[in-house]
Amino acid sequence: MARRLCLITGASAGIGAEFARQYAAFGWDLALTARRTERLEALAQELESAHGISAITIAEDLAKPEAVDAILAALEAKGRHVDALVNNAGYGLPGTFFNTSWEEQADFIRVLYTAPVELAHKVLPGMAERGYGRIINVASLAGYAAGSAGHTLYGSVKAAMIKFTESLNAECAATGQTDIHCTALCPGFTWSEFHDVNGTREDTNKMPKWMWMEAAPVVKAGIDAVNRGQPVVVPGSANKALATLTRILPESLGRAMVSAQSKRYRRMDT
């Protein structure tokens, strides 16, 4: 196939679906993966009809250790390789660290960190061989903020994703892979199903409208940044200001502010 292919995880809704729409509008073929087959197929049909591209759907649960190999095997069976990878799949795990099971926490780490890192590790050799690649890891503004009660691992995993992406982008440049770029996309509050799934929609709806962004400009910021070779991007002026504040505020004040506000977007019950 002459067209490049973008693999998007968590593609059935929200930011993932918007990545699919924007890459399809650029004329890219797509590999869409998530757990919800019906939504993936509906999105694939929509984009094939609208843009004349080819969309492959792969229903997989990234919490399963074999999921990454299954996704890549499905593409190989169709004779396709990954030119761009968008690690978007994710969710919030309500509750505290001690009132949730280890199985829940382990699945969370697998979906939000281990699987994205494994996917990057397994598609990079082919990118290097072809001399072209794009990797966007959807992190979060939470990766900059102080830790909070509830959703215990969310911020730490997103912080790790930012650092991993920075290192990966630097390694590609240092080893002469000048057209392989890796970007950590760090959105703040974005309109999607994320807060419905983790049970915080009622509380987050009370937050100021200026704190929210639509998915389309968030995704555009990520695509533009990775094409420039920018290792980290925080979309939106409000989010940029908040990210800057986390760097300049005294740590004790930052922790106090997060503690005071976290109950609005972190559930400690399950």
pLDDT digits over 206-217, tens only?
A: 566 656 699 999
More confident residue, 218 or 237: 218
3 phi/psi in degrees, rounded to 5: -80, 145
| pLDDT score at 249 | 67
Burial (0-12, 13-18, 19+ Cβ within 10 Å), 216? middle
| pLDDT score at 182 | 98
Q: Indicate if the pLDDT at residue 54 is higher than 90.
A: yes
Do 92 and 200 form a contact (C-beta atoms < 8 A)? yes
| pLDDT score at 193 | 55
Considering only CA atoms, give the Rg of the chain: 18
Instruction: For residue 59, give the amino acid letter.
Output: A
Average pLDDT, integer, range 2-13: 95
Do 87 and 136 form a contact (C-beta atoms < 8 A)? yes
Q: Indicate if the pLDDT at residue 201 is higher than 50.
A: no
pLDDT digit string, tens, across residues 84-131: 999 999 999 988 999 999 999 999 999 999 999 999 999 999 999 999
Q: Nearest-CA neighbor of 74 among 89, 86, 59, 64?
A: 59
| pLDDT score at 204 | 53
| Whole-number Å distance between alpha carbons of 25 and 49 | 11
Find the length of the chain. 270
Superfamily of domain 5-264: NAD(P)-binding Rossmann-like Domain (3.40.50.720)
Do 85 and 120 form a contact (C-beta atoms < 8 A)? yes
- Residues carrying an active site annotation: 154
| pLDDT score at 37 | 94
More confident residue, 158 or 192: 158
Q: Nearest-CA neighbor of 184 among 164, 162, 163, 155?
A: 162
| pLDDT score at 185 | 98
| pLDDT score at 191 | 62
Average pLDDT, integer, range 137-157: 87
Across the chain, mean pLDDT equals 89
Long-range contacts of 251-255 (CB under 8 A, 24+ apart): 251/146, 254/145, 254/146, 255/146, 255/147
| pLDDT score at 192 | 62
